[in-house]
Homo-oligomer: A and B are copies of this chain.
Amino acid sequence: MSGEREIVRIQVDLVCDKNCEACEKFFDCRDPYKYQVYERRRMDIVRERMSKVRHKVMVIAGKGGTGKSTLTVNLSAGMAMKGYKVGILDQDFDGPCIPKMFGLSGGLYLGDTGIIPRVYEPLGIKIVSTGMVIDADEPLTWYHELRRGATEEFLAHVDWQELDYLFIDLPPGTSSDNVNILQHLPDLSGAILVTVPSLVSQGVARRAGVLALKADVEILGVVENMSGFACPHCGEVSYILREGGGRKLAEELEAPFLGAVPLDPRMSECCDEGVPFIYKYPDSPVSKLLLGMCEEINKALEAKGR
């Protein structure tokens, strides 16, 4: 019995073409090398898919509710309005907001070349999110390994095709999902770090920024979100969540400061309606500011040839 097993192992070794995924002996093979090969093969597929994406930009904050998703939606739409081919990977598996913010409902489908992203038609933005595969009332309780598998799946088996920009919207925190992207997405172009002005938010955002820097991912810029609110009745500006925190954080991390985005009730309305604010109100001051950020991100990445 033990001799038979030995023979199988030798046979596998002899005919092994390292193409484990396609191997008919996959489940018989006990060679520990198989798993490494399988892992490497999967990373090869990720690398191949991602080689067609020019700029991969993660949107991080550490803290929740700073407007990462809203900013991802609007920067993506801004880039698309400038003529770039854009995709979004919604890496917030537990609380996916991106599909709703584009008014997309329904699932993801498998084509001949992999999972086909959903498209926000008016701007041709390709989107993949767990919000498209999980029931609206179903809480996800995935731990680290499952989350890592999902990240790899979205990078390896989605047919993104050629893209100028892939924005990755990260969930709050600095653990599993952040680490998985930092480890498994090759040639990440950089990170956009979002904070609200308060000191408390900066403290958490700094941790997320430090993690990106530890992984040798450049911070392309810091955005201060929810900064100031102009009363639509009298025009007086109130700094509800304080002010100045974004610029301070950018200085501390020696990263460019991309600007302070004021609060605008129409922003939240647009998210609920499923239309990017920048697309619906292209002439508003906030949209002009956001388009300016797109320009700066673009210039910074082009200058680096990344």
> Across the two chains, which residue of chain B brings its CB closest to A208?
B139
Nearest B residue to A96, CB-CB:
B204
Q: List 10 A-B contacts (CB under 8 A).
A: A62-B95, A63-B97, A94-B175, A97-B203, A137-B206, A139-B208, A173-B173, A231-B236, A234-B234, A240-B240
Return the contact of A65 from the options B64, B140, B141, B265 (Cβ within 8 A): B64
Whether A298 is near chain B, meaning CB under 8 Å from some CB there, is: no
Asked whether B234 lies within 8 Å of A173 as measured between CB atoms, the reply is no
**Stretch in A41-49, A121-129, A267-275 touching the partner:** A267-275
Contacts of A198 in B (CB 8 A): 268, 271-272
- Of B147, B174, B242, the contact of A139 (CB 8 Å cutoff): B174
Q: Which of B143, B179, B234, B241 contacts A144 (CB 8 A)?
A: B143
Q: Which residues of B contact A242 (CB under 8 A)?
A: 265, 268-269, 272
How near does chain B come to A178, taking the closest CB pair, in angstroms? 8
Find A199's partner among B100, B214, B241 (CB 8 Å cutoff). B100
Interface centre among A141, A263, A269 (most CB of B within 10 A): A141
- What bracket does the count of chain A residues touching chain B fall in? 35 or more
- Cα distance A178–B94 in the bound complex, in angstroms: 11
Known contacts A95-B207, A176-B176, A229-B240; 6 additional CB pairs below 8 A are A64-B171, A139-B174, A141-B178, A143-B143, A231-B234, A231-B238
Does A239 have its Cβ within 8 Å of any Cβ on chain B? yes
Q: Which residues of B contact A240 (CB under 8 A)?
A: 229, 240, 263-265, 268
A213-255 interface mask toward B, CB cutoff 8 Å, 1 = contact, 0 = none?
0100000000000000101111010111110000000000000
Min CB distance A49 to B, Å, is 25
A97-B144 contact given A63-B64, A229-B229, CB 8 Å threshold: no
A59 to chain B, nearest CB (A): 13
Could you tell me the distance in whole angstroms from the C-beta of A179 to the nearest C-beta in chain B? 5
Number of copies: 2
Q: Which residues of B contact A234 (CB under 8 A)?
A: 231, 233-234, 236
Residues on B with beta carbons closer than 8 Å to the beta carbon of A232: 236, 238
Residues in A lying within 8 Å of B, measured CB to CB: 62-66, 69, 93-95, 97, 100-101, 136-144, 147, 171-176, 178-179, 196, 198-200, 203-204, 206-208, 210-211, 214, 229, 231-234, 236, 238-242, 263-265, 268-269, 271-272
Complex partner residue of A94 from B140, B173, B214, CB under 8 angstroms: B173
Check B95–A141 contact: CB distance below 8 A.
no
Report Cα–Cα, A272/B200, bound state, in Å.
6
Shortest A146–chain B CB gap in Å is 9
Most chain B CB neighbours (cut-off 10 Å) among A62, A136, A196, A240:
A240
